[in-house]
Amino acid sequence: MLYFAYFLLNIFIFFFGVIIGSFLNVIIYRVPKEIPFWQGRSYCVSCGKTIKPYDLIPIISFFILRGRCRNCNNKFSRRYPLVEIITGLIALVLYWNFGISVVSFIYFTVSAILVAISFIDFDTMTIPNGLIITLVIPAMAAVFFVEQTEILSRVIGFLAISLPMFLLTFLIPDCFGGGDIKLIAVCGFILGWQNILLAAFIALILGGTYGVILILKNKNNRKIHIAFGQYICIGVFVAMLYGNIIIDSYLKIFNL
């Protein structure tokens, strides 16, 4: 009976994340187009018809309708269930690591914002200031509830990567966007200096690998720009959950 209750709790937490992911889909679509996300009901971007409530059940409605609009039969983006599933899995992973706690809620809020930033940056190569400002709220809450990171470490983390990135833009114009710099500054405040270094390292590895692949595919065009914000978000998420474990393991391997 206890295992069944635990299973149901996991299902509930997953679908809570899925519901938040459904809301993130609205943010991802509307914010770059400067459409107020709080106004009006969801509609099909092809025919403009309002989507009925029974067709808005996260994940389930997409598969029941076979990924198509009930009115015009045009395809919905597969991204919609993808974002919902990703957010649901994030909710589960955070629960497995931190239980039902204030820390888990803070980290889930941070993660949800990072998901929105990742997909918007992938689409537009911009990071909306509104989402950066929103990220400041859980960042400030972390000061009071995530006690293992000292305030001095947070302050150093705020500048540890963002300041070099800012200075580097003067030497190599457009190497980093302003949104990337602001994003990693706020995330540095959340994580502290050690974990933001790890997050930046992960981001550089992932972004650098993707950049090399693009260059090899487009040998005639060496001036390729990539959206770096999504890699920062991945690095921050990994460091937020497992940063201390990764750093401690690294130090033990090299007896540091």
pLDDT in tens, 73-101: 888 889 999 999 999 999 999 999 999 99
The residue out of 54, 79, 98 marking a domain boundary is 98
The residue out of 73, 98, 123 marking a domain boundary is 98
On whether both 54 and 75 belong to a single domain, the answer is: yes
Structural domain harbouring 58? 1-98
Q: Which residue has the tokens 């299973």?
A: 7
The per-residue pLDDT string of the chain (256 residues; one tens digit each, 9 = 90 and over) reads 788 888 999 999 999 999 999 999 999 999 998 888 877 788 888 887 888 888 888 998 888 888 888 889 888 889 999 999 999 999 999 999 999 999 999 999 999 999 999 999 999 999 999 999 999 999 999 999 988 889 999 999 999 999 999 999 888 887 888 999 999 999 999 999 999 999 999 999 999 899 888 888 876 665 667 889 999 999 999 999 999 999 999 888 877 6
On whether both 94 and 105 belong to a single domain, the answer is: no
Q: Number of structural domains, the chain?
A: 2
On whether both 124 and 205 belong to a single domain, the answer is: yes
On whether both 92 and 202 belong to a single domain, the answer is: no
pTM: 0.93
The residue out of 41, 69, 98 marking a domain boundary is 98
On whether both 89 and 119 belong to a single domain, the answer is: no
